[in-house]
Homo-oligomer: A and B are copies of this chain.
């Protein structure tokens, strides 16, 4: 495919077009992904999540600048929490791109959350794969902190930064929200606000407690103790530290085997998704056919149970 060749050579317009094809679940998606697959597996994928208003976009933007100082290529995929109903396009990609405008080492793209189950969509994973193949060494996936997407980030990112602000609430609330369990790094942003130090202390205490419970028999250094990094992202303060910490985490993930473990588990999930997509499509076709509607009607009238019909259909479509 001409498009793929061009995007691999660094043509941004082709990259943008390929991403749009992926987003629209075009029939060519499989071909695109098959063609680039052998180039993937190089990027480190950073998830950035946290409650609304924590400053995730600002942290991301400054992190991009910091990564660029090292001369490494970085792509940002921002997942938009638009209603699955409106399925909406979004945000100011162009506005966000402005500060990195002339820089071909940066690519920023927003995606809607149009996934079957509303969370991080299959498209997001495919887009990340494409960006990986296109040679971006770092890929930042930024998810708006609403509901399920925080958790789905675990299925996509190699390391997760949870961005909090002093107003995010106390430690107990954060634990309840499940944020403690997904963070590889905590970022306390807007750290000049009152209460910031209290939040940092609480987080450090909770991390320490968790370590004591989970790792009491482990050698120091053999496990990752979640660090807490303070930032004032608007002024780019603390961002150098944050990137250092991310690099340390990456090193740990490589050495400990955690990274390849995650890659294998993501791959296994992907294969499972490809298969269920395929089955689902065949099934929908079947169920909307005349014969399928007749069979559904039989179940509606209790002549068969759903399980019985499911078994029959499964035999027919495979």
**Chain A binding surface, main DSSP class:** helix
Say yes or no for A272: interface residue by CB 8 A criterion.
yes
Using an 8 Å CB-CB cutoff, how does the interface string of A139-167 with B read, 1 for contact, 0 for none?
A: 00000001111011000000000000000
A306-B148 contact in complex given A84-B178, A296-B267, C-beta closer than 8 Å: no
Question: Number of A interface residues, CB 8 Å?
Answer: 53
Interface residues of A in 142-198 (CB under 8 A from B): 146-149, 151-152, 176-178, 181
Q: Among A6-14, A29-37, A64-72, A211-219, which stretch is in contact with chain B?
A: A29-37
Between A84, A263, A275, A287, the greatest number of chain B beta carbons within 10 A of the residue's beta carbon is seen for A275
A318→B316 CA distance, assembly (Å):
10
A83-B268 contact in complex given A275-B279, A275-B314, A310-B278, C-beta closer than 8 Å: no
Say yes or no for A283: interface residue by CB 8 A criterion.
yes
Q: Among A18-26, A229-237, A243-251, A297-305, which stretch is in contact with chain B?
A: A297-305
A177→B146 CA distance, assembly (Å):
11
Say yes or no for A38: interface residue by CB 8 A criterion.
yes
A236→B167 CA distance, assembly (Å):
35
Say yes or no for A280: interface residue by CB 8 A criterion.
yes
Closest 6 CB pairs of A and B: A147-B147, A318-B318, A83-B178, A117-B117, A274-B310, A38-B302
